Structure formats: structure tokens, C-alpha cells
Amino acid sequence: MGNPLYDRLFGIHAGKDTAFLSLADGQTLTHAEFLDMAARIANALAGLELEPGDRVAAQVEKSPEALALYAACVQAGLIFLPLNTGYTVQELDYFIENSGAALVICDARNEAGLTPVARTHKARLETLNADGSGSLTRRALGMLSAFEPARRSEDDLAALLYTSGTTGRSKGAMLTQGNLLSNAETLVQDWRFTESDVLLHALPIFHTHGLFVATNIVLASGGSMIFLPRFDLDDMLRLMPQATTMMGVPTFYTRLLGDDRFTRDLSQRMRLFISGSAPLLAETHVQFEDRTGHRILERYGLTETNMNTSNPYDGDRRAGTVGFPLPSVDLKVTHPETGEVLPEGEIGMIEVRGPNVFQGYWQMPEKTAAELREDGFFVTGDLGRIDEDGYVHIVGRDKDLIISGGYNIYPKEIELLLDAQPGVLESAVIGVPHPDFGETPVGILIPEPGQTPDITAIADTVREALARFKHPRQLILLDELPRNTMGKVQKNLLRDRYEYLFCEA
């Protein structure tokens, strides 16, 4: 039985002195060095008396050690739970409690804040810093660089990734080894990844895109990565000539295009640019081709499913579409209320089924039942249509969701907080167009009769409670919210009214 995910992504590179990671400062790590690091960490985790199936919650900056922690969890059969580095202590408290994490790993600068949280939820706490130092790596240093992988099957859970819900509570998507492997192996074929590829990796590694789509594919194909801590335009321009592929959210592409140093010459060695996590504007696709001669390949996925569709590697990559269902994925467009399959071309709910689809939400059977049908189809909450050539178009969302720079923001979570503030009767959070992030949240506040809510104090409370990327970029006072005859807030009217806020004149 072995440990399929470890064996097929990591174990295959044992003893290889081929390049795996190269860092912004020119340092490199071979596959063998990376596996040694991972095995030492796996030994350190085992020394903390963790058992296969335990959850390891990690809020750590991107570094080779952070990636080795993922490998170590797979090797030791632990369930990896990566967390956005922007989350506040209040947000982390929920994830730690809900997942029942046995171990929390954080940056030393957050240790004081998280110590009481970990204690309350009976989790151990270790540190791992951006430079690779910390109590976890100190433990790992004295360990052996070999670790017998825990026996696992493709049905065992490998990761728990939290995704927010429309009710304001985050849900842990349970992903098995088989979910991750099947998707990685399909994408290696579909996008023609080989061991000669060098991926320019500037995405965070706490989400599906940077961790599974990017890293798993490079591992499965035996290629290497230029592994940058974050998207920095100067680094991207400096290092692109050494790369062959890049994956990014649309903001990466608009930022590159916004800089005159980004030229056709610079991208000459590149064979593939991939975009996803948010809609890529057709105009960005066109401008990118004009500037570089490359047609961006857009694909579509979710935390719950990894990747579902992709534009073709060979063939027409159509702007404004997300291409065709991947070979192992069934995709249908259904009536949002009845679930009936709609005729070709009609807009409806996108549902997907395949070996990539998750197992449900951690300890939330009702939420799982509401979104994952008994026949295996997952109801994505995205609205789309399939055109006469078979291309899938995402045309909107049935779920109330804002995507800012590739991060999902659920208005409900912010509204619950705003509604609870002194002097606020009710609120509505809407997404408005933003030139850099695509969309950004704006909060509309309705005062209680005779009250004037203190906007500055409210903004301070929001800062304390929520990660920076969720902060409304503006809070606006209004007398009342527009409602339809059923009493439902008409957010579309609010979006129309405020769409100009961040648009360039």
C-alpha cells in the first residue's frame, strides 16, 4: 500500500542531486536536500507524539522549510492545514478549534498571541519563521534525515483547507491523497510539464493554487521552481528569463503589463503562462498577447475540487472562457433550483464530479449534504454556460462572494461583524471593481434611528478581527438598503451605484 502521495510526488526524487528550488538570492536546493529537510521535520513531528490522521495547522511564511513541512506531513500521514498568513488571532482561534488541530505552527512574532489559543484548544505550539529558523527546525536539526513514510491509501485525508461559507463560518474541505494526486497527474499531462520546466512561483503556498496546482505539478513532473516569498515585480522581471512557466492570479498579469520593463524579450524562454483563481479580463488576455506573443492559458478550479477545466495547451485558448472539462472531470450546467441539466448554451449552476472532488466539509454533514450530491456531483456555486464548441464560460456566482487579488472574501462574515457595532442597524458588503485586485469590498452601514456610528472606531474593530485583505476599502453610511418586494437586499443596485469608487478617471 505504501503512501501514494509521498511515493509519487516526493519519494521518486530520493537521492537525486537535481535542482528543485532556487531562491530569490540565488541559493538552490536539490531534490535530495529538500527530502532530507522534510524527513528531519517528519522525525521532529513524530517526536511530538503526533499520530497519522492528526491535524497540523500552519500559519507560516513561504520558505523552503514551510514547503518541507507539507512534505513532512504527507510522509508522516498527518493532515496538513495551511492558513493564510494574514489571519488574525481571532480568525485562527476558530480554525484551531474547529479542526481539533494537535499542533499549531506559527511565526515567532505571533507566538505570544497564539499561546493561549493553543492552550485552550489543547494543541501544541511550535514556531517556524520566514528565514527557516524556529523551534520546529531546531528540533529537526538533531533528527535523522530518513523517515519511513506512514502507510496511507489514496482514500486517506492529506489536507484540510478552509474555505469561507455564505453563512459566515469557514468550512474545512477534506482532500484525500487521491484527490491531490489525480489532479496533479492530469495537469502534468494536460499542460505538458516535464523535468526541464522551471516554474516561476510567486503565489502563496497556503492555498490550492500555489500549493497543489503549482507545487504538486512540479513535483510530479520532476521540474524545478524559482521559489519567491511573494509577488515582487522587480524579482519577477529579473528572474523570468530563467523560467519556462508561470502560474498566477489575474493581478499578476495586470501588474506585469503595467510595467514597461515587461517585454517580449523577457518572456522569450517562457513556454506557458497560466491564470486562475479569479476571472481574467478578456482585455488582459489580448494585451498580454500583443505585448509578449503568448496566449495566457486560463483554467478554473476551487478549493473543494482542485482544477476542473482548462483551456487547451494545443488549440485555441479563448479569452473570457475557462476551456474544457479536464479528462477525468464530468461537468454539467444545471437549473439552480431544480438541479435539472440545462440545454447547451443556457446559463446555470456549474456542477462537477471526478477523482479530484473532495470528501466533504470537516465535521459538517449538513453543509456537505447541501453541496455534494449523493451521485458525487459538487455544486460549485458558480454560474456558467457551455458554448457550442464546448468551452465553459463562468458568467457569475450564485454565492455571495468577492474575489480580491485571488483571495475569497465572504460578505456575510464582514456583515456579521459590522451589524454588531454600536449604532449600526444593519449592513451590506459589496464587491466593486478595483484596477489591481479585480474586486474589492465596500461596506454600507445603516445607522440605528437617531444614531451616528463612529466609522473610525468600526474600522479599528474590523482591523482587529479580520485579515487585512478582507477589510472594506471604504465604509459608507446610507439611510436604508435597497430591497425588493420580498425584502431581499438588492446588492446589484448597490454595486451599480458604487462601481465607480476605485475606477481610474
Q: Which residues bind ligand AMP (CB under 6 A)?
A: 163, 208, 276-279, 298, 300-303, 322, 380-382, 394, 397, 403, 408
Residue with cell 456610528: 453
Residue span binding ligand MLC (CB under 6 A) among the ranges 14-22, 138-146, 400-408, 474-482: 400-408
Quote the DSSP letter at residue 208.
I
Whole-number minimum distance, CB 308 to ligand MLC, in Å? Answer: 9
Of 4, 276, 325, 384, the residue at the interface with ligand MLC (CB under 6 A) is 276
**Judged by CB, which is closer to ligand AMP: 62, or 285?**
285
Residue 196 exposed, middle or buried by CB count within 10 Å (0-12, 13-18, 19+): exposed
Of 64, 77, 134, 301, the residue at the interface with ligand MLC (CB under 6 A) is 301
Residue 325 lies near ligand MLC (rule: CB under 6 A): no
Contact 349, 379 (CB under 8 A): yes
**Judged by CB, which is closer to ligand MLC: 33, or 351?**
351
Residues in contact with ligand MLC, shown as a per-residue x/- string from 409 to 438 under the rule CB under 6 A: ----------------------------x-
Whole-number minimum distance, CB 358 to ligand AMP, in Å? Answer: 11
Q: How far apart are the first and last CA of the chain?
A: 61
**Judged by CB, which is closer to ligand AMP: 108, or 282?**
282
The interface partner of residue 158, options being ligand MLC, ligand AMP, none and the CB cut-off 5 to 8 Å by kind, is none
Whole-number minimum distance, CB 303 to ligand AMP, in Å? Answer: 4
Q: Quote the CA–CA distance of 365 and 56 in Å, as a whole number.
A: 22
Residue 229 corresponds to which amino acid? P
**Judged by CB, which is closer to ligand MLC: 222, or 405?**
405
**Judged by CB, which is closer to ligand AMP: 134, or 250?**
250
Contact 257, 230 (CB under 8 A): no
Residue 279 lies near ligand MLC (rule: CB under 6 A): no
DSSP letter for each residue of 99-155 = HT-SEEEE-GGGHHHHHHHHHHTT-EEEE--TTS-SHHHHHHHTS-S---PPP--TT
431 forms bridges with which residues in the sheet? 441
Contact 466, 414 (CB under 8 A): yes
Of 222, 279, 405, 411, the residue at the interface with ligand MLC (CB under 6 A) is 405
**Judged by CB, which is closer to ligand MLC: 64, or 210?**
210
Whole-number minimum distance, CB 300 to ligand MLC, in Å? Answer: 6
- Rg over CA atoms, the chain: 23
The interface partner of residue 397, options being ligand AMP, ligand MLC, none and the CB cut-off 5 to 8 Å by kind, is ligand AMP
DSSP letter for each residue of 316-344 = ---TT---EE-TT-EEEEE-TTT-PBPPT
The interface partner of residue 249, options being ligand MLC, ligand AMP, none and the CB cut-off 5 to 8 Å by kind, is ligand MLC
Cell numbers given for 162: 478552509
- CA distances 395 to 28, 279, 349, 495, Å, are 42, 9, 10, 16
Whole-number minimum distance, CB 277 to ligand MLC, in Å? Answer: 3
Residues 453-472 binding ligand MLC (CB under 6 A) are 468-469
Q: Quote the CA–CA distance of 278 and 394 in Å, as a whole number.
A: 10
Those residues whose C-beta lies under 8 Å from the C-beta of residue 505, and which sit 6 or more positions away, are none
Whole-number minimum distance, CB 76 to ligand AMP, in Å? Answer: 26
**Judged by CB, which is closer to ligand AMP: 10, or 407?**
407
Whole-number minimum distance, CB 400 to ligand AMP, in Å? Answer: 12
Q: Which has the closest alpha carbon to 220: 177, 249, 252?
A: 177
Residue nearest to ligand AMP (CB): 303
Site residue total, ligand MLC (CB under 6 A) = 22
Residue 335 lies near ligand MLC (rule: CB under 6 A): no
Whole-number minimum distance, CB 103 to ligand MLC, in Å? Answer: 24
Residue with cell 476558530: 94
Q: Quote the CA–CA distance of 322 and 393 in Å, as a whole number.
A: 6
Binding positions for ligand MLC, rule: CB under 6 A: 203-204, 207-210, 230-231, 249, 251, 276-277, 301-303, 404-407, 437, 468-469
